[in-house]
């Protein structure tokens, strides 16, 4: 009975979302308060229905209702409770329901700002945006209902399920998708508000303030989600790295790059009236790239641990939604963009000029990323040829474009609006530039020309960190308004330093048996023992290693080789010893007997300098964006 209740909620939500897409748009066009308020209530109703459906699917997972195909394919009675809950969104069908849940939440929150005053321009803009949100909700709810029903039954019901992919049975992957989806879908609010502004003849540059909390919240969540996914790949996949330039990873990075550009252009737009048309276009592109990522992950065109294996019909449906949303929004932009006000020209050496240059580099990097991700797919479709575009391409094309972005983040805050004198700017920047140059020379002395990106990264990270500190000292008497920028820029500096440190990582592959000692660079590994261990749904061989440096014990590490019993899948669970200066990273491979009959294990040992700062920096960046949301909400309440 419960699955049918969830399905009925989805059917009702389809009907409600259709009405939501019509009534508030009509009401805003005619300044009819009745229609506008009806749209407001429909947004609440859609959120309530989708929430009920989502909680129903979660209930089915927690109670092991294997008569529901989604539960049978992605759960098992022995699975820990946290993974039964996260199993709700671990499948294609469940994750799409999570997507629509967040979409309906955005619509309901936006509807809260609608008033009965039909002369309130912001209320009319929100009403139109709620209508656009309803239209998007209608499209995705139809997609769920007709191609991805999460409540489809299986008969006879199996006694136990097939279990979830062991790679996904991890706390990082339990929370990583919701943060990503809040980021992806959060940009739908910017998309809807941009369309609403294009439909509003009286829209002005200051009305772009309505976008600010949505853009910052979406960008912050996407930042944290990407960082969490990178952290998961680092400690769970066992290869010692944190970013593989996997197409699905790229699908998350594309809207993040465009969103970073939007955050900066939005500031120039509502404060100075500059770049308003560009900001509206970026708002459309951010969500369009989120939809593109959804297509790549769910269409079946990619094979990845991150992707969902689905049939082509679903891919065609999503591609149609993408085409309708993008073409419709860009057509509206083409018809209405020239009606939007724009400010006078500004000097290239000004804060507006720095933000525009920042945007150009970010968008060029995004376009380069899209080219490298999609070109192999298009080539395969057109010619049947197969090529691989991997890390060498992206490292040599995307990363160089992001170096000036970080440099402009140092320079920009010290520029005046409209125009800045070059000599004055150089005097301001000289202390941080000197420190950055000294850092490069010191790194060169210690490490040599081991890694050009490492040298540049250390210099750039220190320059950005020092510049951000210098920027903060200027406002020490009134620091809070500057806090979002300082945290975001400072967090990026920490991440850059962590990435630069990873360029100097070392790796040692060993074959060891219990009792062996081996040297790995400056470290001595002693393989002390193994023991059997049991988890809720896996068995494991756990190794015990002692790590020494300069004849002094510095760490005891216990990597595992796990076997998940339901799927019979082996998985290495690494041991990581983390300090502020770096990680010791130890992975235990499968056992083999040598010619003498001894059991030997493949052991991989990494020394990864400063790696933890990559994720600390990501968390600090996300905190910066959220502090901006908080400031906006506090200002709104005081008005």
Same domain membership, residue 474 and residue 554: no
Same domain membership, residue 428 and residue 441: yes
Measured between alpha carbons, how far is 25 from 35 in angstroms, rounded to an integer? 8
Domain finish residue from 469, 504, 539: 504
Determine, yes or no, domain membership for 178. no
Same domain membership, residue 554 and residue 514: yes
Determine contact, residues 250/369, Cβ cutoff 8 Å.
yes
Determine contact, residues 520/636, Cβ cutoff 8 Å.
no
Same domain membership, residue 519 and residue 476: no
3 state DSSP class of 532: strand
Measured between alpha carbons, how far is 63 from 71 in angstroms, rounded to an integer? 10
What residues have CB less than 8 Å from 91, skipping those under 6 apart?
70, 73, 74, 150, 308
Max CA separation in the chain (angstroms): 88
> What pLDDT score does 304 carry?
53
Mean pLDDT for each 10-residue chunk of the chain (639 residues)? 94 98 95 95 98 97 94 88 91 93 97 90 95 97 94 89 79 86 95 95 88 96 96 88 89 96 92 89 96 81 53 80 93 91 77 93 96 87 80 93 96 88 90 94 86 93 96 88 95 97 94 94 95 88 96 95 84 94 94 86 95 97 96 79
Q: Which of 62, 89, 463, 491 is nearest to 260 (CA)?
A: 491
State the sign of the Cα–Cα–Cα–Cα dihedral 230, 231, 234, 235: negative
3 state DSSP class of 540: strand
Determine, yes or no, domain membership for 554. yes
Same domain membership, residue 586 and residue 521: yes
Same domain membership, residue 551 and residue 584: yes
> What pLDDT score does 299 carry?
67
Determine contact, residues 613/498, Cβ cutoff 8 Å.
yes
Same domain membership, residue 515 and residue 601: yes
Same domain membership, residue 517 and residue 453: no
Burial of 155 (0-12, 13-18, 19+ CB in 10 A): exposed
State how far Cα 159 lies from the chain centre.
37
Q: How far is CA 89 from CA 66, 174, 217, 560, 604, in A?
A: 16, 9, 21, 27, 33
> What pLDDT score does 342 carry?
73
What residues have CB less than 8 Å from 59, skipping those under 6 apart?
2, 65
What's the chain's length in residues?
639
> What pLDDT score does 294 carry?
85
Under the phi-then-psi rule, with left for phi > 0, alpha for psi from -120 to 50, and beta for the rest, what region is 41? alpha
> What pLDDT score does 300 carry?
61
Same domain membership, residue 532 and residue 478: no
Same domain membership, residue 495 and residue 427: yes
Domain finish residue from 439, 474, 504: 504
Same domain membership, residue 606 and residue 575: yes
Determine, yes or no, domain membership for 301. no
Determine, yes or no, domain membership for 448. yes
Same domain membership, residue 523 and residue 453: no
Buried b (16+ CB within 10 A) or exposed e, 181-209: bbbbbbbbbbbbbbbbbbbbeebebebbb
Determine contact, residues 240/606, Cβ cutoff 8 Å.
yes
User: Encoding tokens for residue 208?
Assistant: 């772009």
User: Encoding tokens for residue 601?
Assistant: 């294990």
Q: Which of 111, 105, 102 is nearest to 27 (CA)?
A: 111
Domain finish residue from 474, 504, 534: 504
Determine, yes or no, domain membership for 38. no
Determine, yes or no, domain membership for 5. no
Determine, yes or no, domain membership for 551. yes
Number of domains in the chain: 2
Determine, yes or no, domain membership for 558. yes
Range of the domain at 572: 506-610
């Amino acid at each position: 009975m419960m699955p049918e209740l969830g399905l009925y909620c989805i059917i009702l939500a389809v009907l409600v979302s259709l009405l939501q897409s019509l009534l508030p748009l009509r009401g805003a066009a005619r300044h009819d308060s009745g229609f506008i308020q009806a749209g407001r209530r429909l947004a609440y109703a859609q959120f309530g229905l989708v929430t009920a459906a989502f909680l129903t699917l979660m209930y089915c997972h927690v109670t092991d209702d294997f008569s529901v195909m989604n539960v049978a394919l992605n759960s098992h009675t022995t699975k820990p409770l946290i993974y039964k809950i996260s199993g709700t969104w671990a499948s294609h069908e469940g994750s799409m329901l999570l997507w629509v849940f967040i979409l309906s939440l955005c619509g309901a929150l936006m509807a809260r700002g609608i008033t009965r005053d039909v002369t309130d321009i912001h209320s009319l803009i929100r009403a139109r945006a709620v209508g656009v949100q309803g239209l998007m909700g209608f499209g995705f709810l139809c997609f769920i209902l007709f191609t991805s029903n999460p409540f489809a039954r299986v008969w006879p019901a199996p006694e136990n399920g097939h279990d979830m992919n062991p790679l996904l049975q991890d706390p990082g992957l339990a929370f990583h998708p919701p943060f990503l989806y809040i980021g992806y879908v959060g940009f739908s609010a910017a998309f809807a508000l941009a369309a609403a502004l294009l439909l509003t003849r009286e829209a002005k540059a200051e009305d772009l303030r309505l976008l600010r909390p949505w853009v910052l919240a979406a960008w912050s969540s996407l930042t944290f989600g990407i960082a969490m996914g990178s952290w998961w790949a680092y400690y769970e996949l066992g290869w010692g790295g944190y970013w593989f330039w996997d197409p699905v990873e790229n699908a998350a990075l594309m809207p993040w790059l465009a969103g970073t550009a939007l955050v900066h252009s939005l500031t120039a737009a509502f404060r100075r009236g500059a770049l308003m048309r560009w900001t509206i276009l970026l708002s459309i592109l951010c969500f369009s790239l989120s939809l593109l990522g959804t297509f790549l992950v769910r269409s079946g065109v990619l094979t990845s641990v991150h992707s969902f294996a689905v049939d082509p019909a679903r891919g065609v449906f999503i591609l149609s939604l993408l085409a309708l949303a993008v073409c419709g929004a860009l057509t509206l932009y083409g018809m209405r963009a020239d009606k939007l006000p724009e400010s006078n020209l500004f000097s290239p050496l000004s804060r507006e000029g720095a933000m525009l240059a920042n945007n150009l580099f970010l968008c060029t990097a995004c376009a380069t990323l899209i080219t490298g991700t999609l070109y192999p797919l298009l080539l395969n479709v057109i010619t049947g040829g197969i090529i691989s575009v991997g890390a060498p391409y992206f490292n040599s094309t995307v990363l160089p474009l992001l170096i000036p972005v970080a440099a402009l983040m140092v320079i920009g805050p010290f520029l005046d609006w409209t125009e800045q004198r070059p000599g004055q700017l150089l005097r301001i920047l000289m202390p941080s530039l000197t420190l950055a140059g000294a850092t490069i020379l010191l790194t060169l002395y210690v490490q040599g020309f081991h890694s050009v990106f490492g040298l540049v990264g250390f210099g750039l990270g220190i320059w950005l960190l020092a510049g951000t500190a210098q920027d903060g000292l200027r406002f020490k008497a009134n620091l809070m308004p500057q806090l979002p920028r300082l945290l975001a820029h400072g967090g990026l500096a920490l991440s850059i330093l962590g990435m630069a440190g990873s360029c100097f990582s070392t790796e040692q592959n060993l074959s060891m048996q219990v009792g062996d000692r081996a040297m790995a660079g400056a470290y001595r590994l002693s393989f002390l023992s193994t023991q059997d261990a049991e988890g809720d749904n896996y068995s494991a061989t756990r190794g015990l290693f002692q790590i020494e440096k300069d004849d002094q014990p510095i760490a005891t590490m216990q990597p595992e080789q796990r076997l998940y019993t339901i799927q019979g899948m082996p998985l290495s669970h690494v041991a990581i010893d983390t300090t502020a200066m770096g990680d010791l990273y130890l992975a235990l491979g499968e056992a083999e007997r040598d010619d003498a009959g001894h059991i030997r294990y493949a052991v991989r040992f990494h020394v990864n300098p400063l790696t933890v700062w990559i994720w600390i920096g990501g968390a600090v960046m996300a905190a910066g964006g959220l502090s901006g949301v908080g400031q906006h909400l506090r200002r709104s309440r005081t008005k």
